Amino acid sequence: MKITVRLIVSLVLAAALVAAVSSYIQVEEEGGRMTHELDVRAAVIADGLQESIRVLLQANSPVRLKRLVDRFGNRERLVGIAVFDSGGANIAVSTGFPPSFLESAGPVWEAMARDEKISAYAAQDGGRKHLYGVPIHIEGRVLGGLLVLHDASYIEARLDEIWQRNFIRLLTNSFFIILITVLVVRWSITGPIARVAQWMRGLRTGRSSQIVSLPRGDILEPLAAEVTLLAKSLAVARAAAEEEARLRVESGSLWTAERLKEHVRQELGGKSLFLVSNREPYMHVRQGGIVECIVPAGGLVTALDPILQACGGVWIAHGSGDSDRETCDIKGRLPVPPDDPHYTLRRVFITKEEEEGYYYGFSNEGLWPLCHITHTRPLFRLQDWVSYQRVNEEFAEVVLEEIADEDNPLVLVQDYHFALLPLLIKSKRPDARVAIFWHIPWPNPEVFGICPWKQEILLGLLGADLIGFHIQFHSNNFLETVDRFLESKINWDQFTVERKGATTAVKPFPISVAFPSPDLALSSTAENRRKEREMVTKMVGMPIQHLAVGVDRIDYTKGIIERFKAVERFLEKHPEYIGQFTFAELGAPSRTHIKRYHDLMAEVEETVDKINWRYHVKDWKPIVFLKAHHGHQTINPFYRMANVCMVTSLHDGMNLVAKEFIASRDDEDGTLILSQFTGASRELQDAIIVNPYDVEEMADAIYTALTMSAAERKDRMQRMRNVVKERNVYRWAGNIVSTLSQVRIPRQTSEPLREEL
């Protein structure tokens, strides 16, 4: 009520001020215009009479002069005309001319004295009169004067009318402005705010979980964004607290963001984490002239962003967005996430030539196919190796700059792009605790022996205090590779490598996803599920009865072609599903200017077209290929609506898509078809495990998934959700931090290793 009263008073005062100013300007303009018109009117009459008066004065004919002024003295608003001689005595006066103006004919005296026309105003009987004096010349001398007298009271009446009319208009306009404004404010501001307050009260007390609808694109948009974030945070915190309480009763312990933060604080004394990866968690790109912040596709960002949000610290990564430079400071730093900053992103910018050699060359045409063993020949070029070394050194300089003021800093290096980085850091900061996590498989020694710089790679990795892999099998392969190519001592009981007095632990840490996911905290309401179904149906472009989904980077290791062929074989064996079964592939283009990836994209699209052409029926087609970089706001509705999720990698370190799908299914429904060659298959035993090279087996798995009873689907999903919940990404990070914090420092053997490298 108070805000409405203040608003009404403010509007009345503002309207009054505007009306007063505009009326004043209008009155001034109108008064000036009417005065000018009166001057012109008087001048016309005077100019028209001067010649006749001059003649009659010379003829000394006062009678005729009197008739002349009487004839002109009865015009509209003209009070009278008077003629004076050079001494100021009136010679002829029109009938009705006020005597008072004859006694004080100042304008005529002034006109004759100054020999120029004079205009003036005077008051009489409560009204204003306009006096216009003109000198009369005879043979170049001023021998008299003419006074034209007009009634000017109509000007005041006109100006008073303007003030009165504007006052009435002010009252009318104020009434409608106030009425409309109050209605708009109640409809678009106070009403939604009241609904938000009511909803937040319900959320606080646990009686509501559904976010209210707020107008978008107007002044409440920032409030809507903040309220949505607050709702997610409250929902996640409530869910985590309830789960913690339940597990505490059951003598269990669930890892949450809060627990990880507290764990890191206790283990490291509140020190920050320093994380290094090639891919940045947030990148800025220009789309249609507008700079947008997007989250790059990939499991690494999915897994690590929640950790930094929980613990804080610095994420050092390659700034690859075309607008990355203009959105950070001179050092490449910016707070992230943009809408709710929790940690610092430090971007490292490298040249196109360095990126070509380090990333596309050595990393993705060399190490990637070497480690995945998927029948793509690895390419090793000297210039790529030189770029790889140079970029690792550049990143090492940035890391050393960031940790310069830290005692015993904790550095987590990510993946195969930075195999040399651990040793480069330890050579300068032996007090640092350094871990590297290898997100892709590690091959057997025979395969890794293909790499011309295998010893340099191994030495760089052994600079770390801890090397992590997804599964024990990859850890064993690494230890066997070190044993084959380096002189060292392998402790198979402790899974450590000792070399020149330095010890490196090699352990499996199965990575996972956040559980519960902040993106899913408010997804369980019926209204949100309805909106998600509408969005998925619109994107697929056809009615959906049975939906299977795949989410991948377009990569030859993901088994996408084999998956499509399994769909084709499934429809061959079970034609009753033609027109009813739809497979949606959400594919993110990746490394497309590498020839193998460019050819793969063409092969994927050709395979889709071929299968769709074969089975196309009216508005239905079996495969929908949605080629784009999709965010979780798009992917999660597909997860929740799908009957089946297919993860059929030919070789993979873990594959977090499988765990994302399970974490999203809070309805405890849906079936996961999972490749036996993924790290996830070791944990998710209740998935339908398949050999992705066996098209027949995958086709049968699709049929099994679609015909499985609801009870069995629920049992399987419950068990898998328990696995993902208990082994979530916070537990993964907590285990790494715990293991690394137990490392004995300082180490004195890094310099000899650096010299050897």
Strand partners, 583: 548, 623
- Do the beta carbons of residue 235 and residue 517 sit within 8 Å? no
Q: Give residue 245's pLDDT.
A: 52
Q: For the segment 145-195, what is each residue's pLDDT rounded down to a tens digit?
A: 877 877 777 777 777 887 777 777 777 877 777 778 777 777 767 777 777
Strand partners, 280: none
Task: Report d(CA 180, CA 186) in Å as an integer.
Answer: 10
Which fold does the domain 529-727 belong to in CATH?
Rossmann fold (3.40.50)
Q: What angle do CA 89, 92, 94 make, to 5 degrees?
A: 125
Residue with tokens 């505007």: 18
40 — pLDDT class (breaks 50, 70, 90): confident
- Check if 257-513 and 529-727 are the same fold: yes
- Do the beta carbons of residue 83 and residue 90 sit within 8 Å? yes
Residues 6+ apart with CB under 8 A from 322: 284, 285, 286
Q: What are phi and psi of 521, to 5 degrees?
A: -60, -30
Strand 546-553 to 644-647 pairing: parallel
Question: Is residue 103 scored above 70 in pLDDT?
Answer: no
Q: For the segment 261-318, what is each residue's pLDDT rounded down to a tens digit?
A: 788 878 877 778 899 999 999 999 888 888 888 887 666 787 788 888 888 899 999 9
Residue with tokens 């398949």: 690
**SS3 state at 569:** helix
Give the rounded distance of the alpha carbon of 86 from its chain centre: 88
Average pLDDT over residues 420-441: 95
Q: How many CB atoms lie within 10 A of CB 378?
A: 18
Question: Is residue 213 scored above 60 in pLDDT?
Answer: no
439 — pLDDT class (breaks 50, 70, 90): very high
**SS3 state at 644:** strand
DSSP H or E stretch at residue 433: strand 433-437
Average pLDDT over residues 500-508: 92
Average pLDDT over residues 221-241: 63
Q: For the segment 690-708, what is each residue's pLDDT rounded down to a tens digit?
A: 999 999 999 999 999 999 9
446 — pLDDT class (breaks 50, 70, 90): very high
Written as six digits, the tokens of 737 are 């931090």
- Do the beta carbons of residue 557 and residue 299 sit within 8 Å? no
- Using CB atoms within 10 Å of the CB of residue 301, give its burial: 0 to 12 exposed, 13 to 18 middle, 19+ buried: buried
Average pLDDT over residues 553-574: 95
Strand partners, 499: 502
Task: Report d(CA 444, CA 477) in Å as an integer.
Answer: 5
Q: How many CB atoms lie within 10 A of CB 654?
A: 25
If one compares 306 and 746, the residue with the highest pLDDT of the two is 306
Question: Is residue 58 scored above 60 in pLDDT?
Answer: yes
335 — pLDDT class (breaks 50, 70, 90): very high
Question: Is residue 251 scored above 50 in pLDDT?
Answer: no
List the one residue out of 611, 543, 631, 537 whose CA is nearest residue 580.
Answer: 543
Question: Is residue 359 scored above 60 in pLDDT?
Answer: yes
**CA quadruple 404, 422, 348, 381: dihedral sign:** positive
Q: What angle do CA 284, 288, 291 make, to 5 degrees?
A: 25
Q: Give residue 340's pLDDT.
A: 83
**DSSP designation for 617:** B
**SS3 state at 49:** helix
Q: For the segment 61-78, what is each residue's pLDDT rounded down to a tens digit?
A: 777 877 777 777 666 677
Q: Give residue 753's pLDDT.
A: 46
Domains of the chain, residue spans: 7-157, 257-513, 529-727
Question: What percent of the chain stands above pLDDT 90?
Answer: 48
- Do the beta carbons of residue 720 and residue 689 sit within 8 Å? no
If one compares 207 and 311, the residue with the highest pLDDT of the two is 311
Average pLDDT over residues 79-87: 77
Task: Report d(CA 584, CA 588) in Å as an integer.
Answer: 13
Give Dmax over CA atoms of the chain in angstroms.
144
List the one residue out of 262, 718, 254 whose CA is nearest residue 516.
Answer: 254
Q: Helices 153-185 & 2-59, crossing angle to 10 degrees?
A: 160
Task: Report d(CA 196, CA 202) in Å as an integer.
Answer: 10
Residue with tokens 């404004």: 181
Task: Report d(CA 336, CA 281) in Å as an integer.
Answer: 9
Q: Provide the mean pLDDT of the chain.
A: 84
Task: Report d(CA 11, CA 7) in Å as an integer.
Answer: 6
Q: Which amino acid is at 459?
A: L
Residues 6+ apart with CB under 8 A from 163: 23, 27
Number of H helices, E strands in the chain: 25, 23
Q: What Rg value do the Cα atoms of the chain yield, rounded?
A: 44
- Do the beta carbons of residue 670 and residue 643 sit within 8 Å? yes
Q: Which CATH code fits 7-157?
A: 3.30.450.20
Q: Which amino acid is at 655?
A: N
Residues 6+ apart with CB under 8 A from 268: 410, 737, 741
Q: Give residue 232's pLDDT.
A: 63
- Using CB atoms within 10 Å of the CB of residue 83, give its burial: 0 to 12 exposed, 13 to 18 middle, 19+ buried: buried
Residue with tokens 């790679």: 457
List the one residue out of 666, 675, 681, 642 whose CA is nearest residue 714.
Answer: 666
Task: Report d(CA 385, CA 460) in Å as an integer.
Answer: 14
Question: Is residue 754 scored above 50 in pLDDT?
Answer: no
Residues 6+ apart with CB under 8 A from 44: none
Task: Report d(CA 437, CA 412) in Å as an integer.
Answer: 7
Task: Report d(CA 302, CA 257) in Å as an integer.
Answer: 14
List the one residue out of 75, 58, 205 whose CA is nearest residue 151.
Answer: 75
- Do the beta carbons of residue 582 and residue 616 sit within 8 Å? no
418 — pLDDT class (breaks 50, 70, 90): very high
Average pLDDT over residues 527-538: 88
Q: Which CATH class is domain 257-513?
A: alpha beta
- Do the beta carbons of residue 426 and residue 750 sit within 8 Å? yes
Greatest mean pLDDT range, 73-82, 89-98, 261-270, 498-507: 498-507
Q: For the segment 548-560, what is each residue's pLDDT rounded down to a tens digit?
A: 999 998 999 999 9
Written as six digits, the tokens of 681 are 């298959």
Task: Report d(CA 224, CA 227) in Å as an integer.
Answer: 5
Q: Give residue 249's pLDDT.
A: 41
Strand partners, 624: 584
**SS3 state at 132:** strand
Question: Is residue 749 scored above 90 in pLDDT?
Answer: no
Q: Helices 632-641 & 526-540, crossing angle to 10 degrees?
A: 100
What stretches of 125-220 adopt beta strand conformation (E)?
127-138, 141-151
Task: Report d(CA 401, CA 397) in Å as an integer.
Answer: 6
Q: What are phi and psi of 213, to 5 degrees?
A: -90, 125
Query: By 3-state DSSP, what share of the chain in percent is helix, strand and coil, each rounded to 5?
Result: 55, 20, 30
**SS3 state at 504:** strand
Q: Which amino acid is at 158?
A: R
